[in-house]
Amino acid sequence: MRGCVGRGPNSLELEHEMTFSMGEPRPATPAGGGRPSREEAEEAVRTLIRWAGDDPAREGLLETPKRVTSAYAEWFAGYAHDPVAMLERTFEETDGYDEIVLLRNIRVESICEHHMAPIVGVAHVAYLPYRRVVGISKLARLVDAFAKRLQIQEKLTAQIANTVHDVLQPRGTAVVIEAAHQCMTTRGVHKPGVTMVTSRMLGAFRDNPSTRRELLSMISYRASVTHDD
């Protein structure tokens, strides 16, 4: 697992400043010009349908361009969110709690930036708090904010970890992601069942082997949960 640690700079990568418009992500003007209109996006879908060999005017495909652009608005909603703002509200009343906080098995749904194919898996996000903690739902939202963009898994792992570490300033931060990439399971080498594991360890998780081992054992631990009727 240690060999998968990301090596990017410990800085936030908020390369897209966004606002919402009509429920869709609205990026700042990209370097190549203004953002296309929805109508232009729908026409691009029609072009792809024709390129694939079908007729966008046939009954089954008439609404497909609208559906695809709506799906893109959902799949890429992360561009509309500020990850830093998600972590700004914290709580200091912890009675001195200073052990590992771990949120396991956060669903990850992203899109590969090379082939625009789905990346689906889970993320484990942990930190060693220093005086303050953050609501656990914010960690899940942070994962979505970065995942719902065009991504590679290595960068996604680093972005989540760097943001937690920079904003919360804990004694340590760790992120481990395991995901399947449909760019290699449904095309290319066609290797279903293969998953990719990446990790980024910062602070105590990088410097202290026993702390890192404790975290990895917590991630792999499978507790039996009983529910009382």
CATH of the domain at 199: 3.30.1130.10
Residue for token pair 């942990």: 126
In a domain, 52, yes or no: no
**Full residue range of the structural domain in which residue 165 is found:** 2-16+78-220
| 41 falls within a domain | no
The tens-digit pLDDT sequence of the chain (229 residues) is: 433 333 343 444 433 333 333 344 445 555 566 889 999 999 999 999 999 999 999 999 999 999 999 999 999 999 999 999 999 999 999 999 999 999 999 999 999 999 999 999 999 999 999 999 999 999 999 999 999 999 999 999 999 999 999 999 999 999 999 999 999 999 999 999 999 999 999 999 999 999 999 999 999 986 544 445 4
CA 217, 86, 110, 74: dihedral to nearest 10 degrees?
Answer: 150
Give the number of domains in the chain: 1
Reduced to 3 states (helix: H, G, I; strand: E, B; else coil), residue 191 is: coil
* Residue 127 · residue 145 · CB < 8 Å: no
- Indicate whether 57 belongs to any domain: no
In a domain, 117, yes or no: yes
**Is 185 inside any structural domain?**
yes
Query: What's the pTM value of the predicted model, to 2 decimals?
Result: 0.83
What is the C-alpha separation between 148 and 143, in angstroms, rounded? 8
Domain-located, residue 100 = yes
Nearest Cα to Cα of residue 161 among 186, 127, 188: 127
Give the pLDDT score at 221. 81
- What pLDDT shows up at residue 16? 39
Q: Read off the tokens for 193.
A: 């069942």
Does residue 225 fall inside a structural domain? no
Nearest to 175 by CA among 149, 194, 151, 197: 197
Domain assignment present for residue 67? The answer is no
Determine the pLDDT at residue 35. Answer: 85
